[in-house]
Structure 1
Amino acid sequence: MKIINQPRETLVNSLSTVSSDTVAQTKVERSGDALKNDTFSQTAKHVTPPVYERPITIGVSKEVEQTIKSASVMTGEAIAELYLGGSMFKSADSMSKEYDKTLSDIATERPELTENEWGFSVNEQGELKVTGNISAEDITYLEGKLNSNKALVNLANEVKANFLQYTQMERDDNGGTSKLWGKYDVTSENFADIIDFKALMDGPRETQQTTLALGRQLTGHGFIQNIAEQLGQNATVRYS
């Protein structure tokens, strides 16, 4: 699976749109809170205070207010987990270390395969499947090496699970639509046809100094850009 660079809506512009929506929701919440705390009062001494002094909420019911607050929190969670170095990126970064170990073994045993174009992803059964213009024998060998690293397999499945979970949350919090990754039709069944993990692992890396200082290997920007390009190239927009 090969990434092809082409003009497309940038993640930054999309995040700006979402950010505006979140700000609008926050204004509604603050407005609701302000009105909720507004209690009628009378300071004139000769007037008897009204008997009914319970705070009056005007504008939205408590049910609607809670829905707005919940949606705001959940959308924020999806954004953090997908685009701001959350669970998916952390799993992918840990995965890169296991990938390096396995690729080193492959380079020792079958060095020619490190020069060939091939990729791998997670299929519906949670196994790592190899694709590329290589022989069936080479595919069998590579799949055996990759799947023998259980940590690599588990982390790849974590990346997939996080992607599916939080893009669904993104849609759920926006009436079934999304301007970001949630707009694409990516499922457990077709994930392997869309996201190539080798491309992610071979993507931009931090400097050795940064890796030693922070413990991470993948760059956040490179990781996000890589996934965005793969989605734009291989996935179908369905929930925009």
Structure 2
Amino acid sequence: MAISFNSAFIQPSAAELKKTAQTLTTKSLSEDLQKTSVNLNPAAVYHPSDDAQAVSPILEAVNVFIGRSQAADFPQIAEQHRNAFESLKMAFEEFKSALSDTFPDLANKKFGFTVEADGSLKALNPDSELSASDMDQLNALLNASGALKTAANSYRDTSIELVAADAGWGGSHLGKYNLTKENFANTIDLAALFIPKGNAPSAEAIDGLFSHQLWRKGELGTPASNALIVAAREAAFNAKRIDEKV
């Protein structure tokens, strides 16, 4: 291929560059820079020899339990859970108001409550502010309130249904857990659900949310518990189909 030059081409000069008269001097690094240099550069460099043997990766199968899929009627169950929450909130506010009128000293102390497996209400002492006599009195008052007891049991039952209906993956991950009447009391503090949130919720208020309590204290599901829930779903679905045909 022929190469042509135009008039703008400038022939490089063969003139020797002028040497500078300034001498170069070496300077030692300061103590800080010496430390930095040591930290940046490795103390030793490994050069594998030709005789080095290649290490083959070992693959190990790991079984991961991800749980069930979300039930088709999850939206309806979630709505029932929200309604149960509102009913419980109203009943608890009425209980606290009555407690302030009759036992103001007790009302000013922080307490929680939950639902036992048999449906009775149980006082909780989250900050250890209640004495043994306070706990006995509070237990009696909680269970004497028919409206609160009914609302608390309804919320407990719909909470169990909500967790059973949700998926073990995606969404809120409630389906990863196994919530039952037997472990509900060790998992959910109902009073903590109603800690005021405000515009900037505190860590305590966030921890009181149902999902957060479940994440922190909930019992993780197992293949066995998951199988029972799926079987119950199928039984309920089949029963519904039979009722629709009748």
Using structure 1 for the length normalisation, give the TM-score: 0.53
How far apart are the structure 2 equivalents of 1:95 and 1:131? 17
Shift of 1:130: 0.4
Q: Give me the whole-angstrom Cα distance separating, in 1, the residues matched to 2:87 and 2:198.
A: 13
Shift of 1:184: 1.5
Match of 1:211 in 2: none
Aligned to 2:189: 196
Flag the structure with larger Rg: 2
2:166 to 148, 163, 170: 170
Cα distance change on mapping 1:170 and 1:143 into 2, 3 Å:
same
Equivalence map 1:1-240=2 (5 Å)? 75-82=71-78, 86-132=79-125, 133=128, 134-170=130-166, 177-179=168-170, 180-204=173-197, 226-239=209-222
Structure 2: stretches of 5+ with no match in the other structure:
1-67, 200-204, 224-246
- Structure-2 change in CA distance of 1:205 and 1:113 (3 Å): farther
C-alpha separation between the residues in 2 aligned to 1:231 and 1:193? Answer: 10
Distance 2:169 2:222 in 1: 6
Letter in 1 for 2:109: N
1:237, distance to aligned residue in structure 2 (A): 2.8
Q: What CA deviation, in whole Å up to 9, does each residue of 1:87-145 have, x standing for no partner?
A: 11111211211111111121122222233222100000101100102112111211222
2: distance between equivalents of 1:147 and 1:236? 26
- The answer (yes or no) to whether the contact 1:130–1:139 under 8 Å persists in 2 is yes
> How many positions carry a matched residue from both structures?
146
Output one character per residue of 1:192-228: Cα deviation in whole Å (capped at 9) or x when no partner. 111111011334489xxxxxxxxxxxxxxx8998111
Measured against aligned partners, the alpha-carbon deviations of 1:7-42 in whole angstroms (never above 9, x if no partner) come to: xxxxxxxxxxxxxxxxxxxxxxxxxxxxxxxxxxxx
Amino acid in structure 2 at the alignment position of 1:155: A
CA RMSD in angstroms comes to 2.9
Residues 200, 223 of structure 1: 8 Å contact kept: no
Question: How has the CA–CA distance of structure 1 residues 236 and 148 changed in structure 2, closer, same or farther, with 3 Å as cutoff?
Answer: same
Which structure is richer in relative contact order (CA contacts within 8 A, separation 6 or more)? Answer: 1
**TM-score under structure 2 length normalisation:** 0.52
| Aligned partner of residue 192 in structure 1, secondary structure | coil
Structure 1 gap segments, 5+ residues each? 1-70, 172-176, 207-221
Give the Å deviation of 1:162.
Answer: 1.0
